[in-house]
């Protein structure tokens, strides 16, 4: 059996290690490998896909609730707007900046920025309404330079350049795959009209046949935005999202 204990050092080893420690300290004192960014005066250059403060474009939103469904922290709540649509609001007290909402947004209505320094005075202010998400927040810029982290060989070093980093990135929003909702089993339809009630774009219509005592539901593929709300809410689960 091998026993693990403290290593035994004799005097020469000890002297060697003491000298080594002191000389390392002296070397670092003269030429430190300092990688500190002096934050308010300079900013670290973040990648374009940095997961920061989120902006919202209501023109692209199809009110599909995907962001709200996917949010693991339950930070996104949909609020109804005067236009009858539902738009997301973000509670930054809960948000963990995973940006699943941005990744899941089919229309590209949500997008990220490089803003990571937002301060709130109260907890209530952290609940960001849709109107506040449309325009980027007011930022007081004190920085005069940008810092890039450069990895050369083994060591990390800083590269400082005198320029202002643009915090609002212009990333092309994902177009997504155009989807449309179809009914796969018309015989099972109960005609409960849940799909009709929930549809934001008015793509679902019903035709009442008085003689046969039946109601026929129809989905207009042109009007359908492919938000998938009817698929989620269908009581018989006979609706599917398919590619247009």
Partner 1 sequence: MIDISGLISTIMNNSVNIPLLYVIYEFLLKIPVLGGIVAFLLDFSILGMPVVKSIIGFVLWKPFFTLIIIPGFATLGTMLLVLPWLERKLVGRMQWRVGPREIEPYTRGSIQLLADTFRFLFQEVIIHKDAHKHYFLQFPFLYFIPVLLPLLFINAGAAGHPLVPIQTDYALQIMIALVSLMPVFIIGAAWAANNRFSFIGAVREAFMYFAYEIPFIIAVLAMIVLYGTSNTAEVISGVNQSSWLNWGIILNPFAALTFFIAMAMATSRLPFDIPEADQEVAFGPFVEYTGIVFGLAYIMAYEKAYVLAAIMTMLFFGGGSGPVIPYLGELSYGIWFVVKTLIILLVLVNLRGVYPRYRIDQALSIGWGAMLTLALFALVWSVVVVVVIGVII
CA pseudo-torsion sign 151, 156, 162, 167: positive
208 forms part of the interface with partner 1 (CB under 8 A): no
Q: Measured from the CB of residue 35, what is the shortest distance to partner 1 in angstroms?
A: 7
Q: What are the residue ranges of helices labelled H in the chain?
A: 11-30, 66-70, 100-104, 130-134, 194-198, 229-233
- Cβ closer to partner 1: 28 or 163? 28
* Binding to partner 1 in span 38-77, by CB under 8 A: 38
Q: Is 6 in the site for partner 1 (CB under 8 A)?
A: no
First to last CA, the chain: 69
Does 35 bind partner 1 (CB under 8 A)? Our answer is: yes
Q: Output b/e per residue, 227-242; b: 16+ Cβ within 10 A.
A: bbbbbeebeeebbebe
* 32 contacts partner 1 (rule: CB under 8 A): yes
Q: Does 15 bind partner 1 (CB under 8 A)?
A: no
> Which backbone phi and psi does 163 adopt, to 5 degrees?
-160, 165
* Site membership for partner 1, residue 12 (CB under 8 A): no
Any contact of residue 21 with partner 1 (CB under 8 A)? yes
23/83 with CB nearer partner 1: 23
User: Considering Cα of 157, then 161, then 166, then 171, what sign does the dihedral take?
Assistant: negative
**Interface contacts to partner 1, rule CB under 8 A:** 21-22, 24-25, 28-29, 32-36, 38
């Amino acid at each position: 059996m091998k026993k693990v204990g403290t290593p035994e050092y004799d005097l020469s080893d000890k002297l060697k290690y003491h000298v080594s420690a002191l000389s390392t300290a002296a070397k670092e004192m003269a030429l430190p490998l300092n990688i500190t960014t002096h934050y308010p005066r300079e900013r670290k250059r973040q990648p374009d896909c940095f997961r920061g403060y989120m902006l919202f474009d209501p023109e692209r939103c199809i009110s599909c609730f995907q962001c709200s469904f996917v949010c693991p922290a339950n930070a996104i709540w949909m609020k109804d707007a005067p236009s009858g649509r539902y738009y997301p609001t973000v509670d930054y007290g809960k948000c963990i900046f995973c940006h699943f909402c941005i990744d899941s947004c089919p229309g590209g209505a949500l997008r990220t920025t490089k803003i990571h320094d937002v301060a709130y005075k109260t907890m209530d202010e952290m609940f960001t309404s849709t109107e506040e998400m449309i325009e980027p927040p007011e930022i007081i810029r004190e920085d005069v330079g940008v810092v890039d982290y450069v990895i050369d060989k083994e060591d990390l070093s800083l590269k400082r350049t005198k320029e202002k980093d643009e915090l609002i990135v212009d990333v092309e929003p994902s177009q997504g795959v155009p989807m449309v909702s179809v009914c796969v089993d018309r015989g099972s339809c109960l005609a409960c009209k849940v799909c009709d009630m929930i549809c934001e774009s008015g793509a679902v219509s019903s035709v009442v046949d008085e003689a046969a005592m039946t109601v026929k539901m129809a989905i207009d593929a042109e009007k359908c935005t492919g938000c998938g709300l009817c698929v989620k809410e269908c009581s018989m689960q006979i609706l599917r999202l398919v590619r247009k």
